[in-house]
A and B are shown apart, each in its own frame.
Chain A
């Protein structure tokens, strides 16, 4: 078999586990809830003077006015979410909504933060433009407006979305050992749970004397702090061995998440433990990545679930 055949066999095999019309509804509903949850925060970000923004190269590809007009964004967002959810001109509305979403949260990122929890959902929505059967369960299907010839029920969307999740978790794991060993010893977690909060900066333990010419220090990073230092987190931070074990478990789970690509059983294991992981992070640090957990719903075999009720 040549490479093209292997590629086609991997991405363009078919499966009846997934129903991509339903995926559209789950994704759009999840992103609508996420957007509404962040709306107030985004409203404040939109008031940032343009001098204090920095457009990413990818945002520069979107030819909209920068900074955005908040009222126009609200109206266009309301229209696009409605059209994509109901499936009116489905592919066009899903594509337009993905650009809207990336532009909206991209602006927030351009003010100095980076909306980590928004980037993956935005890319998933963008890829949904091409999903086979995305216009099932839609007004388009009801009225016979589907413009494109139907394509087989390929399972590349499920594989691609799982690969995207894998890359996010894997890269997070890699970053934890790339910058030193403080994460695996539990020191970073202890710092996060008990250390000073606010916008502080740190140097690098390996900083060389010739790197100190700017400030006498060699500043290397701003310090990510947790949203809230919660009582449960503070309690856990009292046990250094427990912190080290928790850190190792987090690292191993993140690094091994790509194994979920190779079997359905592995995928179920990693998604179930992923729910516990995100719940644990929220309860101890107040960091909310529930949009990821919501998107795990995509991997439920809904055809099987519905068959139980027939």
Chain B
């Protein structure tokens, strides 16, 4: 019994140390990887009147028509998680405290490579759903009272050449 109890205490102590240790690390590193997270949620610096931005995904189809991607119908994903996944894991934040993905020592090449990879995945899934896609376009615009926006950056991906055209328009 004595030995069993010592083993039990050792196992429980190891479990407590590992669980709490990972959780402490997640808080210090401001990281969120389920099920351990820094729980930032509403801890972002936001004020009414400060500029907000939106992202728009478009497909240019083989008939030359360019249209906004319906995330659910065309790609089978939920819109709000799709945008968050794209931003957190591919676009990435410039803020090291953004808990779901920031790009440390990011370079233009790495950044474009991540965007191209995501556009390629969109093309892959869209093609599987019988869409004839010639170009995948991602636009970043400033929100100036819906639905008006000012285009600030644009990424145009050609799935045949894996080429990404990256244009910054600047403030307008």
Instruction: Please give the residue numbers on chain A whose beta carbons come within 8 Å of chain B beta carbons, in ascending order.
Output: 7-8, 11-12, 44-45, 47-49, 51-54, 56-59, 102, 105-106, 109-116, 118-120, 122-123, 126-127, 130, 149, 151-152, 156, 160, 163-164, 167-168, 170-172, 174-183, 187-192, 194-196, 198-205, 207, 211, 213-224
Q: Are A219 and B23 in contact (CB under 8 A)?
A: no
Neighbouring A residues of B124 by C-beta, 8 Å: 51
Option from B1, B23, B78, B84 in Cβ contact (under 8 Å) with A149 = B1
How many residue pairs at the A-B interface have CB separations less than 8 Å?
252
CA distance A119 to B152 in the complex (A): 37
Interface residues on B, range: 35 or more
Are A196 and B146 in contact (CB-based, < 8 A)? yes
CA–CA, A116 and B89, complex, Å: 18
**3 A-B pairs with the lowest CB-CB distances in the bound complex, closest first:** A175-B43, A112-B85, A112-B81
Those of B94-112 within 8 Å (CB) of chain A: 94-95, 97-100, 106, 108, 111
What's the nearest-Cβ distance from chain A to residue B40, in Å? 4
Q: Write out the residue numbers on chain A whose beta carbons fall within 8 Å of the beta carbon of B23.
A: 164, 167
In the bound complex, residues from chain A placing their C-beta under 8 Å from that of B85 are: 52-54, 111-112
Q: Name 17 extra pairs, CB < 8 A, besides A112-B84, A180-B45.
A: A48-B81, A51-B124, A105-B35, A111-B85, A112-B85, A113-B80, A113-B84, A126-B19, A160-B16, A167-B20, A171-B27, A171-B37, A179-B43, A188-B42, A222-B84, A223-B44, A223-B46
A-B contact pairs, 6 of them (CB 8 A): A47-B76, A48-B76, A112-B86, A195-B46, A204-B95, A220-B94
In the complex the two chains form, is B13's CB within 8 Å of A221's CB?
no
| Closest-CB distance, A115 to chain B (whole angstroms) | 7
Complex CA gap A12/B23 in Å reads 22
Contact B33 A130 (CB under 8 A): no
